[in-house]
Amino acid sequence: MKNNAVKNNMLRARFLLPALALFTFAACSSEPQKPAEQKAAPKPAETVTAREAFQKLYITARSWAADARPVRLESQPAADSDGHDGKAAIWRALFASPGRRTIEAFVWSGSAAPDAPERGISHGTEDTFNPTNASTQPFDMQFLKIESDAAFDTAQKHGGEKELKTDPKLPVGYLLDWDANKNQLVWHVFYGASRSDAKLAVDVDATTGLFLRVEK
């Protein structure tokens, strides 16, 4: 009798142990899983007007050369900034140092686009500055009375509005430089990825805000 009882207990254990293991596994697997960590959403682009960008860049340029003077200020195209409000997420300024006879570009970026420069201010490469070169004549920022958004409004009235109605995704760019022949600071507002292949380019007097001409 005792032998039969021992055999029966062994048989029960043989069946109960796998069942107990299966129950334990099921209980463990039914526990709620922790949610996967979510990546932080990319920071949206920061867009600013020309003067705002210039003020940021000028401080850095003066650290590079105390006599740094602006030669050119231009927006650069970015996937997250179309320029339709007179603002841009990337601005590039060219500064000359007459004392050092060098010229250098500085870029401010607030863009989150993958191919955009890193956020903040970055330096370009120094080059030789020739004071007699008419295409790189420095100018006095006191001539800049008209902001890029106001230049955009003027350009809209001279063909720009029509271009954006035709193609609402058409980017708008801005270039500020000195016309040495007319002693005039000029905004070039162009409708397209670059000034060279723009569908329309409108020139605006950066001091008075008056319309000057349509380049094309």
pLDDT for the residue 43: 79
Residues near 11 by beta carbon (within 8 Å), at least 6 away in sequence: none
Q: How far is Cα 133 from Cα 93, in angstroms, rounded to an integer?
A: 18
Mean pLDDT of 128-147: 93
* More confident site: 199 or 1: 199
Mean pLDDT of 86-113: 96
Residue 106 contacts residue 117 (beta carbons within 8 Å): no
30 pLDDT above the threshold of 90: no
Q: How far is Cα 137 from Cα 129, in angstroms, rounded to an integer?
A: 10
Report percent pLDDT > 90 for the chain: 74
Position 172 confidence tier, pLDDT thresholds 50, 70, 90: very high
Q: How far is Cα 9 from Cα 21, in angstroms, rounded to an integer?
A: 18
Domain boundaries, the chain: 50-214
| Closest C-alpha to 44, from 109, 90, 119, 111 | 111
CA angle at 57 for the pair 55 and 63, rounded to the nearest 5°: 110
Residue 181 contacts residue 119 (beta carbons within 8 Å): no
Q: Note the pTM of the prediction, 2 decimals.
A: 0.80
